[in-house]
């Protein structure tokens, strides 16, 4: 008799820890032969190659009778199709764990079996077959059926019991079900559980329970349902799937108990223990829990946490002059306003009196939390009207940042509190940072703002332009304007050094309009010498979303020559961002700008969190494939698939495509073969000042023809490094 271990690729020259090679082989063979479960191996064409004694007892075939035979001899006729599906999954390297099905003995009888199937690989890690462990679960099935079908338990159980068919339609319910829900059998027979759906129940619990039921055959959870009277009730539900003996879907058994009183009491106690009764904000206890959770989360993800201590300026005078009832209403209003300015992931807590604490997790520098605190300072200064009385307050705040301030939760709050008192001493209505280094960075940001203002006045800013070329014919189809700063002390600065830190601050509007004006100047000069192609400018999300942006752009364009508008030569590049959360508003702005002669492209397409939604909702003519995918597509299959997907989407949505960051002939060649004709990158030209760009355009065609002759390149414009 052939042993299964021969077919598991365990050779006699291989050694288990602590064993000689011969002992290792004999030990494994004894395990296989001594198992109570059938252990069977087979080749990829379905021929049985291994058969242990337990398999002989279970199926009735001797090894001499079954070895070399098709494994389908062990399958009932109606399940023959299983084998193809199993082989498909095995070829993917999957392992089937405790897969329950039906198998057939030599005498033709069938039995329920639990099967675990694993791929067999050779020394080259190639899949050459599969091994199966088969367990007869007939007894277990019989016991389960007996327990589930116990009529006495069904009728007199204190818990509600539901029997449903394979489609989830009710077949039977017990007396406890009627007592809890008010529905009799005649009300629910043929109905599904959606009859009891309550608005208090979110989708997450149901989705998870259905997933567990599908994958495991049973699930359990706490859900909110609805009685016949319409009243909501909480239930602890357990659902099990009961299959037929032949493996076909059978029915579902659900049991639940009414825990409404327990849940309501628990919710009330939790709210009283964790929330401020006046403002409905988290209290000091819940704040402490979330602060600890946020610190742990930041440690795991290498993020940062801003802890801000906020105190209302002059609130004591409100209580003294107008009374505590007015003061309470003011606190409620201020709490609502502050809550409306923060993200769902942030925590705003009231810890007593007129004191609040704000927790902000972030990953992209101090500007993120400083912007949030600035919004809070702004909304708190807006007047509050209570019983016809106008109350105007301000807020002083202190902030410390973990892990730069690597302190305990209590110390973080103390540090933020200390910084808050410094803000009050400095004149109120401001934020002070506890951490010295971060405070210096904040000052650096405001110093940058002042420096940029002077740079515009002193004509220190300038633009460089990088061409976009159709590599199949060498035509220049556009260019991108890129801002630079000729800093008098630090030399040439690039956008990451001075644009990113201020892109959420008002000065970015001034910089953006400066870029537009300079770009329009170049468009007019190029047209004068015979070039008419669009030039794109990058506009920061904050600037683009300003309510007066379309009107201001219209005034700027109307002051220029009409050909710029008529031929839509100004292109605005926008990057998908969380700031564009209201796509309807963004789309309206884009449509307004398009009507006045601007066109749009989506920059860095594919790198954000909602690219498909942006493609669907926003009227942009062009998609720019991010350079990160272009750089890696020749080596990375994933990057290549992403590029193909973007090109497919662009074709489906009738969008133009530009690949940015192209540097080599191989990249350009691959892009053209994929259907992308237009590229931008060092392979064509580096960004260059206005005068050099104009000269480059004049020399482009002749220079590229020369390169074609000298190097035999297939595409105009691609110069090898």
Extract the tokens encoding 390. 């106008």
State how far the alpha carbon of 519 is from the alpha carbons of 16, 196, 282, 290, 481, in Å.
Answer: 73, 62, 51, 49, 7
Q: What is the pTM of this model?
A: 0.44
Q: What is the pLDDT of residue 508?
A: 92
Q: For the residues 401-427, what does the mean pLDDT come to?
A: 90
pLDDT band at 143; cut points 50, 70, 90: confident
Q: In this structure, are 397 and 299 located in the same domain? A: yes
Q: What is the CATH number of the domain that holds 230?
A: 3.30.450.20
Question: Does pLDDT of 3 surpass 80?
Answer: no
Q: What is the pLDDT of residue 22?
A: 59
Token pair 């002390």 is found at: 489
Q: In this structure, are 131 and 19 located in the same domain? A: yes
Question: Does pLDDT of 721 surpass 50?
Answer: no
104, 136, 168 - which closes a domain: 136
C-alpha span between 376 and 384 (Å, rounded): 14
Q: In this structure, are 404 and 490 located in the same domain? A: no
Give all strands (DSSP E) within 227-372, no chain letters: 232-242, 251-258, 304-313, 347-352, 355-362
C-alpha span between 10 and 16 (Å, rounded): 10
Q: What is the CATH number of the domain that holds 499?
A: 3.20.20.450
Q: What is the pLDDT of residue 709?
A: 39
Other beta carbons within 10 angstroms of residue 171's beta carbon come to 14
Does 720 reside within a domain? no
Answer with the residue of higher pLDDT: 449 or 710. 449
Please state the length of the chain.
721
Q: Is 241 helix (H, G, I), strand (E, B) or coil?
A: strand
Does 444 reside within a domain? no
Q: What is the pLDDT of residue 480?
A: 96
Residue 3 near residue 12 (C-beta atoms within 8 A): no
Cis, bond preceding 403 (omega within 30 deg of 0): yes
pLDDT band at 512; cut points 50, 70, 90: very high
Does 223 reside within a domain? yes
Q: For the residues 480-487, what does the mean pLDDT come to?
A: 95
Q: In this structure, are 151 and 79 located in the same domain? A: no
Residue 621 near residue 603 (C-beta atoms within 8 A): no
pLDDT band at 712; cut points 50, 70, 90: very low
Q: For the residues 421-444, what does the mean pLDDT come to?
A: 80
pLDDT digits (tens, 9 = 90+) for 385-409: 888 888 889 999 999 999 988 888 9
pLDDT digits (tens, 9 = 90+) for 168-210: 899 888 888 988 889 988 888 888 888 888 777 766 777 888 8
Extract the tokens encoding 477. 């189809």
C-alpha span between 125 and 398 (Å, rounded): 60
Main-chain phi, psi angles of 120, to 5 degrees: -105, 130
C-alpha span between 384 and 190 (Å, rounded): 56
C-alpha span between 585 and 595 (Å, rounded): 16
Answer with the residue of higher pLDDT: 699 or 689. 689
Q: In this structure, are 406 and 459 located in the same domain? A: no
Question: Does pLDDT of 460 surpass 90?
Answer: yes
pLDDT digits (tens, 9 = 90+) for 58-109: 999 999 999 999 999 999 999 998 888 888 888 888 888 888 899 999 999 9
pLDDT digits (tens, 9 = 90+) for 220-274: 888 888 898 888 898 888 888 888 777 777 788 888 888 888 887 777 777 777 8
Q: In this structure, are 638 and 540 located in the same domain? A: yes
Does 288 reside within a domain? yes
Q: For the residues 486-497, what does the mean pLDDT come to?
A: 92
Q: In this structure, are 627 and 491 located in the same domain? A: yes
Q: In this structure, are 684 and 583 located in the same domain? A: yes
State how far the alpha carbon of 348 is from the alpha carbons of 281, 344, 557, 617, in Å.
Answer: 7, 10, 45, 33
C-alpha span between 412 and 402 (Å, rounded): 8
Question: Does pLDDT of 48 surpass 90?
Answer: yes
Q: What SS3 string covers 61-126? A: CCHHHHCCCEHHHHCCHHHCCHHHHHHHHHHCCCCEEEEEEEEECCCCCEEEEEEEEEEEECCCCC
Percent helix, percent strand, percent coil in the chain, to nearest 5: 45, 25, 30
pLDDT digits (tens, 9 = 90+) for 629-647: 999 898 889 999 999 999 9
Q: In this structure, are 596 and 645 located in the same domain? A: yes
Does 719 reside within a domain? no
Q: In this structure, are 90 and 207 located in the same domain? A: no
Does 259 reside within a domain? yes
Counted domains in the chain: 4
Task: Report the mean per-residue pLDDT for the chain.
Answer: 85
89, 110, 136 - which closes a domain: 136
Does 103 reside within a domain? yes
Question: Does pLDDT of 519 surpass 90?
Answer: yes
Q: For the residues 574-582, what does the mean pLDDT come to?
A: 75
Q: What is the pLDDT of residue 210?
A: 84
Question: Does pLDDT of 487 surpass 90?
Answer: yes
Q: What is the pLDDT of residue 550?
A: 94
The strand pair at 232-242 and 218-226 is best described as antiparallel
Question: Does pLDDT of 28 surpass 80?
Answer: no
C-alpha span between 655 and 662 (Å, rounded): 20
Q: For the residues 350-376, what does the mean pLDDT come to?
A: 86
Give residue 99's domain range: 4-136
DSSP 8-state symbol, 275: B
pLDDT digits (tens, 9 = 90+) for 118-136: 898 888 888 888 888 899 8
Q: What is the pLDDT of residue 701?
A: 64
Does 439 reside within a domain? no
Q: In this structure, are 497 and 382 located in the same domain? A: no
136, 163, 178 - which closes a domain: 136
Q: What is the pLDDT of residue 152?
A: 63
Tell me the sheet residues that pair with 571.
536, 599
Most confident of 234-248, 343-357, 366-380, 579-593: 343-357
Q: What is the CATH number of the domain that holds 343?
A: 3.30.70.270
Percent of the chain surpassing pLDDT 70: 89
Q: In this structure, are 387 and 526 located in the same domain? A: no
């Amino acid at each position: 008799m052939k042993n299964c271990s021969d077919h598991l690729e365990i050779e006699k020259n291989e050694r288990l820890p602590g064993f000689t090679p011969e002992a290792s082989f004999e030990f494994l063979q004894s395990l296989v032969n001594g198992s109570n479960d059938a252990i069977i191996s087979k080749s990829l064409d379905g021929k049985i190659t291994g058969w242990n004694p337990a398999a002989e007892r279970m199926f009735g075939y001797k090894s001499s009778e079954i070895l070399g035979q098709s494994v389908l001899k062990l399958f009932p006729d109606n399940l023959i199709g299983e084998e193809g599906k199993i082989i498909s999954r095995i070829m993917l390297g999957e392992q089937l764990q405790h897969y329950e099905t039906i198998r057939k003995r030599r005498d033709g009888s069938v039995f329920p079996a639990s099967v675990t199937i694993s791929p067999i690989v050779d020394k080259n890690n190639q899949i050459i077959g599969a091994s199966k462990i088969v367990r007869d679960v007939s007894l277990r099935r019989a016991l389960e059926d007996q327990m589930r079908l116990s009529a006495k338990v069904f009728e007199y159980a204190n818990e509600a019991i539901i029997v449903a068919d394979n489609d989830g339609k009710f077949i039977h319910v017990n007396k406890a079900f009627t007592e809890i829900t008010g529905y009799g059998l005649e009300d629910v027979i043929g109905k599904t559980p959606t009859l009891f759906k309550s608005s208090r129940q979110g989708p997450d619990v149901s989705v998870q329970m259905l997933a567990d039921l599908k994958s495991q055959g049973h699930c359990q959870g706490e859900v909110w349902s609805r009685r016949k009277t319409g009243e909501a009730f909480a239930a602890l539900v357990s659902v099990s799937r009961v299959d037929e003996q032949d493996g076909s879907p059978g029915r579902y058994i659900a049991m639940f108990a009414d825990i409404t009183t327990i849940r309501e009491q628990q919710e009330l106690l939790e709210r009283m223990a964790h929330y401020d009764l006046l403002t409905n904000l988290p209290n000091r206890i819940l704040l402490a829990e979330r602060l600890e959770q946020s610190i742990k989360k930041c440690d795991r993800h290498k993020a940062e946490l801003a802890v801000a201590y906020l105190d209302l300026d002059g609130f004591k005078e409100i209580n003294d002059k107008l009374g505590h009832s007015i003061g309470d209403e003011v606190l409620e209003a201020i709490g609502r306003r502050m809550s409306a300015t923060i993200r769902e992931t942030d925590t705003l807590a009231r810890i007593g009196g007129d004191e609040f604490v704000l927790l902000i997790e972030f990953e992209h520098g101090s500007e993120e939390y400083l912007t949030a605190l600035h919004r809070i300072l702004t909304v708190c200064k807006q007047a509050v009207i209570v019983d016809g009385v106008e109350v105007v307050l301000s807020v002083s705040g202190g902030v410390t940042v973990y892990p730069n301030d690597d302190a305990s939760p209590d110390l973080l709050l103390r540090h933020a509190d200390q910084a808050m008192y410094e803000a009050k001493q400095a004149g109120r209505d401001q934020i002070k940072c506890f951490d010295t280094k971060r405070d210096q960075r904040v000052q650096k940001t405001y110093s940058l703002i002042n420096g940029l203002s002077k740079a515009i006045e002193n004509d220190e800013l300038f633009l460089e332009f990088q061409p976009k070329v159709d590599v199949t014919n060498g035509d220049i189809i556009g260019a991108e304007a890129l801002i630079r700063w000729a800093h008098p002390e630090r030399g040439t600065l690039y956008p990451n050094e001075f644009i990113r830190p201020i892109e959420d601050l008002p000065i970015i509007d001034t910089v953006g309009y400066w870029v537009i004006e300079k770009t329009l100047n170049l468009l007019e000069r190029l047209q004068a010498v015979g070039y008419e192609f669009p030039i794109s400018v990058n506009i920061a999300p904050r600037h683009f979303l300003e309510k007066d942006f379309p009107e201001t752009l219209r005034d700027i364009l109307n002051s220029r020559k009409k050909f710029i508008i008529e031929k839509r030569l100004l292109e605005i590049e926008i990057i998908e961002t969380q700031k564009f959360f209201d796509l309807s508003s963004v789309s309206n702005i884009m449509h307004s700008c398009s009507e006045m002669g601007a066109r749009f492209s989506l920059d860095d397409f594919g790198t954000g969190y909602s690219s498909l939604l942006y493609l669907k909702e926003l009227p942009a003519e062009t998609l720019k494939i991010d350079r990160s995918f272009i750089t890696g597509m020749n080596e990375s299959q994933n990057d290549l698939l992403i590029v193909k997907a973007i090109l497919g989407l662009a074709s489906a949505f009738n969008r133009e495509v530009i690949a940015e960051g192209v540097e080599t002939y191989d990249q350009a060649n691959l892009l053209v073969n994929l259907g992308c004709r237009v590229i931008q990158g060092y392979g064509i030209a580096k960004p260059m000042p206005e005068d050099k760009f104009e000269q480059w355009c004049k020399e482009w065609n002749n220079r590229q023809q020369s390169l074609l002759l000298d190097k035999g390149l297939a595409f105009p414009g691609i110069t090898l490094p």
